[in-house]
Amino acid sequence: MKGSLALVFLFLASSLALSSSMTELEMIENEFLTDCAKRENVSVDGISEYLMKRTNVEYKTMCALSCYFQISPGIQFVLGELKNEYGLDSCNTITRDDECEEGFKQIECYFQKFV
């Protein structure tokens, strides 16, 4: 189960590139991500690039990722299932004055615990 979250990220990134052959669930997840990207005026490709390569992240991309993690049923399900096994409570207690930075720091914590 250690790689479950990593698999979700890889699934997400790869599904963005293969939108013509997505399942219904993948299309729903893609809609959530696209909505968050539009809210923050960033490209989905930029988000995908960060997830695949862990490149330096721009503030707007942080906000889009934070948004996606908050509203994605797939991400929320995985995090809920693995919460106790990987001690995610420590990630969920990370706080910042800025909502985007807080969410992104929590995401980085999830990466450290799972990947």
Domain that holds residue 100: 4-114
| Residues 55-111: tens digit of each pLDDT | 788 999 999 999 998 998 888 888 887 777 777 778 888 999 999 999 999 988 888
pLDDT tens digits for 27-64? 888 899 999 999 999 998 888 888 777 778 899 999 99
pLDDT surpasses 50 at 18: no
Q: How many domains, in total, are found in the chain?
A: 1
Tell me, what's the pLDDT at 61?
92
What is the pLDDT confidence band of residue 115, given thresholds at 50, 70 and 90? low
What are the Cα distances from residue 65, in Å, to 25, 84, 85?
Answer: 19, 23, 23
In terms of Cα–Cα distance, which of 61, 70, 54, 23 is closest to 39? 61
- CATH number of residue 63's parent domain: 1.10.238.20
- pTM for this predicted structure: 0.75
- Provide the token pair at 3: 């790689």
Q: Quick one: pLDDT at residue 8?
A: 57
